[in-house]
Chains A and B, each alone.
Chain A
Amino acid sequence: MPSPLSLKDARIRSFAQTLQREAQPKVTDANVVELLAAAGDRAGVSYDKAKSELTRPGITRAEQFAIASRGLSISEKSDLGLLLEKSGFAMDPGAKNFLEALVGRAALQETFGPLTITGDQKNGIAGVAKPGETIEAINLSTAPAGRLHLTDTVELGTADASGKFLGNLPDVREGDFIRLRARAADGSTSDWITIQARGVEGADTRNAHVNLERMDLGTVAGSEDITVKHNTGRPLTEPDATVRFTNVRTGEKFEFKATENGSLPEGFKLKGLPGDEFKVAVSDGANNADFASVAGSLKVPGGRDLKGGRDLPDPAMHKDELNADGTPKFKLERFTGPLFIDGPSAADVRQGAIGNCYFPAALASIAAQNPDAIKNMIKDNGDGTYTVTFHSANNYSGGRPQQVTVDGDLYARSYGGPIYGSSLGGSTAPDKMEMWFPIVEKAYAQWKGSYDRIGNGGVAGQVMAEVLGRPYAYENLSAANADRMYERIKKAAEAGKPMAAGTYGTDQSARYTNTGVYANHAYSVLGVEEKDGQKFVKVRNPWGQSEYGNDGKNDGFFSIPLDKFAELYRAVHIVD
């Protein structure tokens, strides 16, 4: 505790006594105004008026000094000298300089304010701070490339008695962002200020750096949102830099402008899928403005190594092929074989391990009667995807078709080949298999909702209508109408109209055993023929095997006597 002072001026004495009662008495840049007002009052200028003038908005230190000097008496000057020498009060540098200047011991320093950078950086970084403060700095433009946190600063220099400092940071280039702060002797620091280096070079030729290792991409369940996480406290890039992500698969672009800490804005997301690759480019506005120079790429976790281009959502498997948790029992494999080998034909179609016989039966029939319809319904997009066109029941008269785009991913057995529809007559290797039928089936499953939605029975006539955009007719078979049906099938085949037939339900399956025809099953009807005066109907099993009779081929194609056809088949579907 300082000893009592013999202060003559009542205002100064009151100020000192008040301060002495404080735990840590200090003459600050704020309360020194009371001493200046005590010094500045004089005849015609009261203490309050002097104080009012001293606190006028925008007043400079020189003007404050002038007000105090004009009223300063000898005794007040003596009192201020005592405060400097004997009070033991701590003093802010600015406050102390006021008192020293008033008693004639120092010149008035006009700048004791917050850290300020002056001029350009041609000869280094110069500015003013409080005398004795250490100036700390970090180059935000080079930090993203190094192992620096934002607080990993270097000492630029120390403010001299007049508050001025000058220092150099290594490797500062034109346009670099430099962040600085002042550190006082007691360890306290000023707010950060950030400047952009100017005058170092003729032009800003160093682009911002973006550190890809400091970002992690993640998926969001149930959506195509891709999160971007800044995974460290170290900066990603320099402030205000624009970082662009380009989804290699879709070409879609996403950008963010870096925050003042070189991070990404909260909530920034991309759109994509597991396995997607994003090219990342950065521009500081002056360099790489067209983002042509790519810093590198980031990959979304998951997905597969796609040999065949784009990856699109896939229809879920049939419920029989799902685990209890809903995950598929079979893995997807990318098939990249030709869409057609020698054009579409019924012989290409092979039903998979799914209860959708009505679908391959319909498609094989169309392939047989109207192969151009198959060719025209599928477009190879050239990027591993195919767009398949169907027609819903309400647009047979010319309404808008339904287009479904799918990729070449097919659920495959561990030992090779698709689990669902595949192609016959050639390889089922992923790079060789003829693709048209499995692609149309996949698109149909995608359109209807899943393989389960199409894999529990159905109507062959409806599929033919949905492919061709024309309605179908349906007629039950019996011994009584067999001859008429024979003629109808004959005419339809001559007109190139696809047909299919269904057998009776499983409740009558005993009549089928050992016949080579199966209950509750759909077949393609391909026409009729007469041999030795006997009428036959030409039929194909969509399994590509298992036939009535034994023609020695077991390729699914067979001819069945008309009376047997009428006995074993329940109905015929014919497209108009």
Chain B
Amino acid sequence: MAIPPELIDEVLPGADAAVLAEVVKVLEQSPQKPSRETEASSLPDSAARQVVELKVKSVVFGKVDATVKVVKPEGAYALREGNRGPFVLGKDDKGAVQILGRYGPDTWPEGLVRDAAKKHGRA
């Protein structure tokens, strides 16, 4: 069921910032539905919404504080303290900062994010 990551060129134009960061705290965790026990190799389900605090190590582009509270939308991955990597950030439909990319920090390697930022004139 896992779908390949989006092309970064499709996502970056809607991003406000990209940072290298680490999850320091899971602030909110929505209820998670259990996956079915099945023979299937993959199933149509998703990981629940979370709100986490990121500690920013470096900024690729955009204006971001040293720590930032972000929404991890319901989707194909979940975060826990200690997860790290490149986070591309945008806004959700309520104006909250949210993590973009289907797999959060595992969506694109850092080099790809930096190259794309340059290509799109964001860095």
Contact = CB atoms under 8 A, between A and B. Distances in A.
Q: Is chain B found bound to chain A in the same assembly?
A: yes
B45 A505 contact: yes
B41 A507 contact: no
A543 B107 CA distance: 12
B47 interface: yes
A507 B33 contact: yes
Interface in B28-70: 32-36, 39-47
A513 B77 contact: yes
B11 interface: no
Chain A's interface size range is 35 or more
Given A358-B42, A460-B41, A509-B78, A518 B103 contact: yes
Of B46, B77, B80, most buried by chain A (CB within 10 Å of CB) is B77
Contacts of B103: 513, 518
Interface string A56-68: 0000000000000
Chain B's interface size range is 20 to 34
Interface in B1-49: 1-5, 32-36, 39-47
A354 B105 contact: no
A217 to B, nearest CB: 40
Contacts of B83: 513-514
Contacts of B32: 507
A257 to B, nearest CB: 57
Interface in A457-498: 457-461, 474
B90 interface: no
B43 A351 contact: no
Contacts of A507: 32-35, 45, 47
A457 B104 CA distance: 21
Contacts of A504: 35
A458 B41 contact: yes
A292 to B, nearest CB: 54
A571 B40 CA distance: 9
Interface in A544-566: 545-546, 554
15 contacts: A353-B3, A357-B42, A457-B43, A502-B42, A506-B77, A507-B34, A507-B45, A508-B35, A509-B76, A513-B78, A513-B80, A513-B103, A516-B106, A518-B2, A520-B2
Interface of A: 351-355, 357-358, 361, 456-461, 474, 500-502, 504-510, 512-514, 516, 518-522, 543, 545-546, 554, 571, 573
